[in-house]
Every structure is written in structure tokens, then in C-alpha cells.
């Protein structure tokens, strides 16, 4: 049965692990040597940029869907377009193909052939060490069949990803994929690469439509990702506004786009669950200082403090340990002094100096003190948000 993903918490994708290739006469194609599509319909820079953008979109969607069991994500990895690594299974290798135009009525046989060429090549690298392979497209008619036939079993919409295992497809759709596998193997063989499909387990092959319009002005272009983020917030009982969804969407898209451009051999290319979790938390942190705190800040440094807070929560992801230290120290302080949960004033007054590393520049002691205090207060007022997001991503 074909499935439409609606609840990210219950959705799982189990995929691949990287292995050392055994010696053989013919070797798999090096990933740096791309599959060649004859007479491509789109060769301009605009199309390339759109395809790259769609790939990032899919990577973010799948990361949030699988966040509880995720270890790290690589976009444009050494093996596939998207590689998802999990804590409880082998990693995921995903091929992403896109087309410009109306995704509801567009189709292209060469996209499926290219995707399966690479997926077969991957199985000849990793052998049988995978649990699923996936081909993702932004258009509906993946199988290039008459619309009436397609309507009987393939009904994606703009709201959520639409994914099906090979075995759950119609007979005609399976035949189409079988033909594409034959064409992909022929292409590999002609180029002198390993073309065997003995490691390609069709029980572990899936196809998916993630609607993503090439018109960047479309109001629905990011609707799917917005829904996935919203579902994640709902799953952890985080009350959110549309602005919260947009902050997280923009942050993750920007972060993935940046790391996707790093060389595949660079370990900093990995986007870890820890990174994702804390960046989501930073995006959601509200900093509204109470009047009885705010009125004591010298007017001359208020702008500097606000600017520093923005820098800290947007850029200082390496400061995660400080946030954990603030939260744990506050609880210990309250317990030791038999204070209520809301007694933050005495904590700030007596303990702010313990967190001087938050703002090590002591050239202006007044700015330093109030900057440290404002950061501590912001952390304390967002404690519930921090715990909810960490619990939702299963970050220990």
C-alpha cells in the first residue's frame, strides 16, 4: 500500500552503510564521474540551481522526518545525493531528480534511468549492506504512463511526501522500473563499469514524489516542509506560530546549502543531529527581558547587548555546553538555597560571574555584566523549549 507521510514522529526510512569494495575485474563508477543523459532538456544554470535547491529541500524534509533515529546527514556525499546515517540501522542513500515546469503533468524517462544507474552503482560499492534505496522526484508522473492509469495508484499532493515501496506499485509501474534498471545496467556496461544488479534488492527499493515547484514565487513551494516542521512541533507539544516554522525552515535550508558545498572528504560536511537540534533551539529562543531587569540596563549599552544576543544565538553553536551549564547550575542553586523556580534575580546577582566565558571581553565591564546576565535570563526563560526540542529529537 502506498503511503502518504503525515506524522514525522512515526515515519521511518531505513537505508545504507558504506563498505570497502572488494577487488573485481570491473569496478563501480566513481561518483565524481556523473551518469550522462543524452540530449538533456535543460542545461542552463537556472535549471542546475533549481535541481540543487530541490535536493536541499528533500534532505531537510527527510532529516526532520527521521530526526529521532538520525545520527547525521550528508548532502552531496561520496556515494549519493543524500546520505542519512542512523543510530539503529544502516545509512540511507537517496537519489534526487527534478524537472522544471508544472510538477503535476511533467514526466521524463531519463530521470529514472539516471537514478537507477547510480543506485545500482551504489549497491556494487556497499554490496548488501543496506535496508532501502530511494529515488525521489519533484514531479508526479515518475513512471511516464497515461494519467488515467497513474490516477489509480499514485496520488501525491503538495502537503506531504508520497513514498511507495517497489512491491506496492502497480504492475505497469514495476515494469517501467524494471525497464529502467535494464537501461541503467546497459549504460554502466557500455562505460566499462560493474553493471551487475545482484546486490539490488527490489524489496528495498522505494520511489517518492516530493512536490516542489520550479516557480520560486509559488505560495506552495515550501508547504511540504512547513507541514513537516509543524508536525514535529506538534509531536513535542511546542506551541508555535507560523513565524517559528519560517525561522527553522530558513535556518535549516541555509545550513544545509552551506554544508552541501563542502568537499565530500571533509568531515565538517556532516550535519549531525546535535547540530540540527541546537540550531532549531537557537531559532526558537525568544529574548524578552522583563521590565525589572531591563530598566537597570544603562541606555548606552542596550543596542550592544541586543546585537550580542543575536550573534550568540545565531552563530555560536559551539556554546552548547554553556546553555547546559546555565540550566543545571540554576537547578542546583535553587535547591541549595531553598528558592522557588521563579527566583531568577538572586541567581543572576550572585552567579553571573561564573559564566564570564559567555562574554570574555572585559574592555567594558558594564557591557560584559549585562550581556552575560541577559544571555543567562534568555536561557532560563526558554528552558521548557530546550527540553521539548531535545526530547523530540531524542538527543541525549
Q: Domain for residue 370, yes or no?
A: yes
Task: Judge if 52 and 191 occupy the same domain.
Answer: yes
What is the pLDDT, as a whole number, of residue 315?
58
Choose the final residue of a domain: 244, 269, 294.
269
Q: How many separate domains does the chain show? A: 2
Report strand pairing: 133-137 vs 92-97: parallel
Task: Judge if 317 and 381 occupy the same domain.
Answer: yes
> pLDDT of 339-393, one tens digit each?
887 788 889 999 999 988 877 777 889 888 888 888 888 888 889 999 999 999 9
Question: Which residues in the chain land under pLDDT 50?
Answer: 7-24, 38-45, 317
Choose the final residue of a domain: 269, 297, 328.
269
Task: Judge if 97 and 165 occupy the same domain.
Answer: yes
Task: Judge if 66 and 211 occupy the same domain.
Answer: yes
Task: Judge if 223 and 304 occupy the same domain.
Answer: no
What is the pLDDT, as a whole number, of residue 79?
74
What is the pLDDT, as a whole number, of residue 198?
94
Separation CA 79–CA 74 (nearest Å): 10
The pTM assigned to this predicted structure is 0.84
> pLDDT of 267-302, one tens digit each?
657 899 999 999 899 888 876 666 667 777 888 888
Task: Judge if 317 and 249 occupy the same domain.
Answer: no
Q: Domain for residue 274, yes or no?
A: no
Task: Judge if 169 and 44 occupy the same domain.
Answer: yes
Residues 6+ apart with CB under 8 A from 184: 113, 114, 116, 117, 120
- What range defines the domain where residue 111 resides? 3-269
What is the pLDDT, as a whole number, of residue 25?
58
Separation CA 229–CA 249 (nearest Å): 8
Task: Judge if 79 and 217 occupy the same domain.
Answer: yes
What is the pLDDT, as a whole number, of residue 46?
53
Choose the final residue of a domain: 214, 239, 269.
269
Task: Judge if 214 and 306 occupy the same domain.
Answer: no
Task: Judge if 250 and 293 occupy the same domain.
Answer: no
Task: Judge if 165 and 41 occupy the same domain.
Answer: yes
Q: Domain for residue 278, yes or no?
A: no
Amino acid at each position: 500500500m502506498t503511503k502518504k507521510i503525515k506524522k514525522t514522529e512515526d515515519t521511518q526510512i531505513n537505508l545504507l552503510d558504506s563498505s570497502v569494495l572488494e577487488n573485481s575485474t570491473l569496478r563501480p563508477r566513481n561518483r565524481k564521474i556523473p551518469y550522462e543523459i543524452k540530449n538533456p532538456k535543460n542545461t542552463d544554470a537556472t535549471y542546475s540551481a533549481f535541481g540543487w535547491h530541490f535536493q536541499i529541500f528533500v534532505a531537510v524534509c527527510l532529516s526532520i522526518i527521521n530526526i529521532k533515529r538520525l545520527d547525521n546527514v550528508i548532502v552531496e556525499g561520496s556515494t549519493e545525493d543524500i546520505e542519512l546515517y542512523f543510530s539503529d540501522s544502516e545509512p540511507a542513500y537517496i537519489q534526487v531528480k527534478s524537472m522544471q515546469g508544472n510538477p503535476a503533468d511533467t514526466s521524463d524517462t531519463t530521470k529514472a534511468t539516471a537514478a537507477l544507474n547510480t543506485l545500482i552503482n551504489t549497491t556494487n560499492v556497499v554490496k548488501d549492506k543496506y535496508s532501502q534505496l530511494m529515488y525521489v522526484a519533484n514531479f508526479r508522473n515518475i513512471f511516464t504512463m497515461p494519467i488515467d492509469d497513474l490516477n489509480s495508484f499514485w496520488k501525491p499532493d503538495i502537503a506531504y511526501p508520497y513514498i511507495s515501496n517497489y512491491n506496492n506499485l502497480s504492475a505497469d509501474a514495476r515494469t517501467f522500473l524494471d525497464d529502467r534498471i535494464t537501461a541503467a545496467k546497459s549504460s554502466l556496461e557500455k562505460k566499462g563499469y560493474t553493471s551487475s544488479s545482484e546486490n539490488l534488492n527490489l524489496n528495498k527499493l522505494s520511489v517518492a514524489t516530493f512536490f516542489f515547484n520550479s516557480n520560486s514565487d509559488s505560495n506552495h513551494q515550501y508547504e511540504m516542509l512547513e507541514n513537516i516542521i509543524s508536525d514535529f512541533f506538534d509531536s513535542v507539544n511546542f506551541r508555535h506560530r507560523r513565524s517559528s516554522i519560517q525561522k527553522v525552515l530558513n535556518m535549516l535550508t541555509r545550513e544545509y546549502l552551506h554544508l552541501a558545498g563542502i568537499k565530500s572528504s571533509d568531515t565538517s560536511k556532516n550535519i549531525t543531529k546535535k547540530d540540527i537540534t541546537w540550531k532549531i533551539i537557537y531559532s526558537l529562543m525568544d529574548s524578552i527581558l522583563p521590565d525589572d531587569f531591563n530598566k537597570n540596563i544603562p541606555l548606552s549599552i542596550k543596542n550592544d547587548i541586543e546585537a550580542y544576543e543575536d550573534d550568540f544565538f545565531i552563530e555560536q553553536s559551539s556554546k552548547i555546553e554553556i546553555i547546559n551549564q546555565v540550566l543545571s547550575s540554576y537547578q542546583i542553586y535553587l535547591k541549595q538555597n531553598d528558592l522557588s523556580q521563579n527566583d531568577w534575580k538572586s541567581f543572576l546577582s550572585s552567579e553571573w560571574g561564573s559564566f564570564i566565558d559567555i562574554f570574555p571581553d572585559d574592555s567594558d565591564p558594564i557591557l560584559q555584566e549585562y550581556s552575560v546576565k541577559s544571555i543567562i535570563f534568555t536561557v532560563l526563560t526558554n528552558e521548557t523549549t530546550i527540553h521539548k526540542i531535545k526530547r523530540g529529537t531524542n538527543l541525549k
